[in-house]
């Protein structure tokens, strides 16, 4: 990766400073950092063996539109059995516990992106490959533990300084997942770093244009759930149709690959059409929310796109 400088420190869940603000993250730093980590605790827990998380995740999956999008028993490698088989590392439980208390949106979003990533991967690549990807969904926003909850839940436009703090979560997640999972977590760490990158180079933290199929799977799941969820910075969520129109427009303007949007649209259909044959409507009939501070900077700073 191209060298990037940390705008804020990276702290572990127990508030230990792992990497100082201003550190240049380059290949040499990453090699030394991953070598100096303590031996990671193996990923051996199923999130669904945790009673409260299982209950919450089941409830979120019952909410529209996920009740129609996620595959139920009877289909090969249905979403629930794939989730059951997924093994996660223990610090993920601490991460979820932290956000359940401080920012319930991030708690719910992390769990639903877990389910949605699995389902998009199942539709596009098959159940076996989906399981291979399954550990990357719930950890994509791990770096948000380094961002004050007051910024994550702010209902009005962010200042430029707050915006930079928020964007810090991508690199922070990369380093934290390397810290907690070692070599086992390299794929998840790379996706935490890259899930706000865009194909046209307008993303962050490194303006990378080429991402892996795994990273695009999480990125599209992340954008879709962010659109259809209630967020503090807008009065209402996008409805399903408008969210799919937004994603189609993003694909048309070169921000995300169109095949991942086709997969989401195919999941919304009832006829089981192969996603590659799914054509996308360019008709804009949906109504985006009227009040939406997403991507707006507080007045004196001028506009800039994209909130995490
Ligand atoms: Fe996210
Ligand atoms: Fe994010």
Which pLDDT score, from 0 to 100, does residue 2 have?
Answer: 80
Q: Which ligand is nearest to the CA of 112?
A: 1
Rounded distance from Cα 276 to ligand 1 centre (Å): 26
Separation of alpha carbons 109 and 112, rounded Å: 5
**Residue 171 CA: which ligand is closest?**
2
Tokens 């059409």 -> residue: 273
CA of 148 to the centre of ligand 2 (A): 14
3-state secondary structure 23-47: CEECHHHHHHHHHCCCCCCCCCECH
Distance from residue 222's CA to the centre of ligand 1 (Å): 5
**Cβ partners under 8 Å of residue 150, min gap 6:** none
State the distance from the centre of ligand 2 to the C-alpha of 71, rounded, in angstroms: 25
Q: Is the dihedral of CA 169, 265, 229, 90 positive or negative?
A: negative
- Report d(CA 147, CA 108) in Å as an integer: 17
Pick from 93, 127, 87: nearest CA to 13:
93
Give SS3 for 53: helix
Cα–Cα distance list, 87 to 42, 122, 131 (Å): 9, 17, 10
Question: What token pair was written down for 176?
Answer: 């934290």
Residue 294, judged by CB atoms within 10 A of its CB (0-12, 13-18, 19+), counts as middle
**pLDDT tens-digit series, residues 31-43:** 999 989 888 888 7
Quick one: 132 exposed, middle or buried, by C-beta within 10 A (0-12, 13-18, 19+)? middle
Q: Can you give the pLDDT at residue 66?
A: 93
- The tokens of 65 are what? 């539109």
**In angstroms, what is the span from residue 17 Cα to ligand 1's centroid?**
23
Give the Å distance between the CA of 295 and the centre of ligand 2.
14
Contact 129, 150 (CB under 8 A): no
133 Cβ contact list (under 8 Å, min separation 6): 117, 118, 121, 125, 214, 217
Backbone phi, then psi, for 168, in 5-degree steps? -60, -20
From the CA of 221, the nearest ligand is: 1
For residue 150, give the H/E element and its range: helix 149-152
DSSP structural state of residue 212? -
Residue numbers of the chain with a pLDDT score lower than 70: 74, 300-308
Q: What DSSP designation does 183 have?
A: G
Distance 307 CA to ligand 2 centre (A): 8
């Amino acid at each position: 990766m191209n060298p990037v400088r940390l705008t804020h420190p990276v702290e572990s869940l127990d508030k230990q400073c792992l990497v100082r603000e201003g550190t240049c993250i380059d290949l040499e730093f990453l090699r030394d950092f991953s070598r100096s980590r303590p031996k990671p605790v193996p990923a051996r827990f199923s999130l669904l063996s945790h009673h409260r998380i299982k209950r919450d995740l089941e409830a979120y999956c019952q909410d529209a539109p996920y009740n129609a999008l996620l595959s139920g028993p009877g289909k090969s490698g249905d979403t629930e059995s794939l989730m059951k088989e997924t093994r996660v590392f223990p610090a993920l439980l601490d991460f979820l516990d932290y956000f359940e208390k401080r920012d319930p949106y991030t708690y719910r979003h992390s769990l639903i992106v877990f389910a949605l990533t699995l389902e998009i991967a199942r539709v596009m690549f098959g159940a076996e490959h989906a399981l291979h990807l399954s550990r990357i969904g719930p950890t994509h926003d791990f770096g948000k533990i380094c961002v004050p909850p007051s910024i994550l839940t702010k209902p009005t436009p962010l200042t430029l300084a707050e915006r930079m703090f928020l964007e810090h979560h991508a690199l922070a997640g990369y380093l934290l997942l390397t810290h907690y999972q070692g070599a086992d977590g390299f794929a998840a760490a790379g996706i935490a770093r890259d899930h706000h990158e865009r194909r046209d180079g307008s993303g962050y933290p490194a303006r990378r244009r080429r991402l892996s199929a795994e990273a695009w799977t999480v990125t599209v799941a992340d954008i879709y759930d962010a659109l259809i969820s209630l967020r503090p910075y807008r009065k209402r969520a996008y409805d399903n149709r408008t969210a799919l129109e937004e994603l189609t427009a993003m694909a048309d303007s070169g921000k995300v690959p169109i095949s991942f949007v086709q997969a989401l649209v195919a999941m919304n259909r009832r006829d089981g059409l192969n996603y590659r044959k799914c054509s996308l409507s360019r008709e804009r009939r949906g109504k985006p929310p009227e009040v939406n501070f997403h991507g707006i900077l507080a007045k004196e700073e001028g506009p800039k796109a994209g909130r995490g």
